[in-house]
Amino acid sequence: MRVGALEARRWAGLVFAAGPGDGIGLRLVFTTPSGDRRELEDWYWMVSRVGPHAPDGSYARMEFDLAAEPSPDSRPAEGTLILEWSRREDAVALRAVARAPGRVELVGDRPWGWKTTWEEASDGWRAAPGGLEMAAAFAPRAGDRVATVVAWESKGAPAGSATALARAQRLLPGLDRWIDDAHRDWDRRRPRGSGAGEGLVEAVADHLMWNILLQPETGRLYAPAGRRWIFPKPGDSGREKDARDNDAPEEGPGPDDWTVFGWDSFFNALALATASGRLAWDVLLAGLESRYPNGNVPNWRSRLGGTPDRSQPPIGSFAALKLFLACPDTDALAAAWPGLRAWNHWWVADKGGRPRREGLTPGLFAWGSDTALVPERAQLPEWEVAADGHQRAAWESGQDDLPLWEEAEWDPEREVLAMSAVDLCSYRALDLECLARIARILGDEPEADRLDAERRRLVATMNRVLWSEAAGLYLDELPGGHSPRVAASNFLPLIAGVPSAGRARRMVPALRDPARFRGEWMLPTISRDDPAFEDQQYWRGSIWPPMNYLVLQGLRRYGFDELASELAWKGAHMFLADLRRTGFCRENFDACTGRGRGHRFQSWGPLFALGAIEESVDACPWRGR
């Protein structure tokens, strides 16, 4: 039985998943004195504190501000509704207490329209998902509190054994002590940061654990980009057009069953390794399982929709190698290998006689979109209906509106941006290097040698074509020469081991220059002297967790430890200050104010914390440990 807040809208409730496609749910509803109901996604706008949340489900807690309005303007401040639950093998205790006027109810329902239903009786609720007998026993009802024990057992239990309902009723009187003891036990044994790192380890575990969801038709766990990043069912106009950018409320028809994002999944796996190695591998493999038959791990994919035309930055092998060094599991690594190899090949598969994403110079790479594979209009979310090839290629980069893409025209014949992109070339070199390492771990020396040779050719071409001696940086190749614009992603050759030690030293002054990238809050996505920096909108100047994390890895690889430490701790302190001020785990940050922006609870937000945690404890691919 999988138990947790495993359906995206269920911020205040639980799913009991007995098996693929089968299970049952519980959720809280709060009615204000004026008669307004708060349920499902309303709770998103009312969250005041996330966690603690033990990875083993032994204790979990959420706090909500009942005075907060369910709208983007809400600013939850107090924890006036406390929801807690705790699992012991085949039983779960749940308690919710309101500290404000109104009525709390526990509603039994069917997540994802599953077939099992609760049957009410005078002594509790009964259900029969799969081959189980399941029952919920309730404490005496009160307007400001609900409490229940849910228990289950096999229908084939030996004769004379207690029924699920009898066990639930027997456990119910001890519910408060059960939950309180579980809270104290997890508080005692949970991993913690101390000193400058106080709160970092806890923030990673709590926020990511509350982002773990279920793919209902398979029973697989995964980590979405966030609980509000489950896209509408194809053909529905379930979100406002700009909801991806400004966290607008959902309207109209409901969401698809799940939505997996390409590179988000791999970053989430790395962060989850601080809480649970097993869950980290599950999330990484779920990301790889989103791929299409041609090997493409897409920009995003849901049960009913997706982006077969485009991918996202290929960091899967880097995440798999780093995860293996931190949480060794040869079987999991071997399970990831076919998907990683298929994705690696997808980028260079033949398309009209040339590699799929070939850049201006043969052997280099550009972002693109395979127009023939774009789904029909009725299958697209509203914001993608009018998107052209240039925009879809920008989405493939993961840096959706990065100003660098303005410098490149769309090539309609080859269906790529007319450029050779430093970031994609760097990702490709990193992918080849990590795959070669994985091949050797798995005992495939010939494949490792082939991958190493391909990487050497790519690195040589990058150093010949993309290096600018005048700028002391790797710059995008455009038809007229090097691009004049510099982004944080121009430092990605460091993580891929592309520059010589001398060239790496030439690159670092730009990061140390306050007129360009250094500052109280860093690393901005575009240089501070770029005209687009003042926008501070999305990838136009804001600070993003994944880019900070990747550049940080590159600095460490080349031994720029002082600058790496500065970047790590500035990011961590910015993240923690905003978290303590708002309770949110933000999508990105304003590079002028250090304030959080975008979605309130983004799964990769804790990368800022992870970067600082790795100052002390790290599984470093470049140093063999």
Give me the mean pLDDT over the 595-612 stretch: 95
- Please state the separation of Cα 260 from the chain's center in Å: 9
CA triplet 9, 13, 14: central angle to 5 degrees?
Answer: 100
pLDDT (tens digit per residue) in 251-286: 445 789 999 999 999 999 999 999 999 999 999 999
- Quick one: pLDDT at residue 158? 56
Give the C-alpha separation, 231 to 249, whole Å. 12
Give me the mean pLDDT over the 296-316 stretch: 97
Q: Is a pLDDT exceeding 80 seen at residue 599?
A: yes
Global model pTM greater than 0.85: yes
Q: Which residue has the tokens 């009018």?
A: 386
Give the C-alpha separation, 395 to 306, whole Å. 13
Give me the mean pLDDT over the 573-590 stretch: 95
pLDDT (tens digit per residue) in 184-200: 999 999 988 888 788 89
- Quick one: pLDDT at residue 398? 97
Give the C-alpha separation, 16 to 116, whole Å. 11
Q: Is a pLDDT exceeding 80 seen at residue 123?
A: no
> Burial, 252: exposed, middle or buried (Cβ in 10 Å; 0-12, 13-18, 19+)?
exposed
CB 495 within 8 A of CB 551: yes
End-to-end CA distance of the chain: 36
Domains along the sequence of the chain with CATH:
2-190 (no CATH), 202-623 (1.50.10.10)
What dihedral do alpha carbons 553, 205, 39, 226 form, nearest 10°? 20
Q: Is a pLDDT exceeding 50 seen at residue 249?
A: no
- Quick one: pLDDT at residue 302? 95
What average pLDDT does the chain have?
A: 93
